[in-house]
Amino acid sequence: MFASIASILLVFAAAACGGGKDNSGNNASSGKASASEIFQQNCAACHGKNLEGKNGPNLQKIGSKLTKDQILNQIKNGGGGMPANIISGKDAEAVAEWLANKK
């Protein structure tokens, strides 16, 4: 019973993190948003508006633990409860670079 409830909660948490996409599956940002804005629109529901962590881990100093490429890989492939491709393309690149500078 507990495993079923935990699984359902994980699905809802993962769905909440993906709120920045429009119905076509494309990112809601126009490509002109800053990395911070993209993060706020797509990632803050799980990682906190100040990167403090909520359902997802704290990212305030993630750049001291992971490189840009490692962060980009996590964004693209998900894992550890994070769904894949919450953001993609140039938006994902920008957020990965922005997060890599958080040390």
The span from the CA of 63 to the CA of 24, in Å, is 32
Whether residue 27 lies inside any domain: the answer is no
What pLDDT score does 16 carry? Answer: 47
CATH number of residue 70's parent domain: 1.10.760.10
Whether residue 26 lies inside any domain: the answer is no
Identify the band that residue 17 occupies on the pLDDT scale cut at 50, 70 and 90: low
What is the count of structural domains for the chain?
1
Write out the residue range of the structural domain in which residue 76 sits.
2-18+32-100
CA distances (Å), origin 13, targets 10, 30, 33, 56, 65: 5, 25, 25, 9, 24
Considering the chain, what percentage of its residues have pLDDT values greater than 70? 70
Residue carrying structure tokens 């994902």:
92
pLDDT, tens digit, 9 for 90 and up, residues 72-92: 999 999 999 999 999 999 999
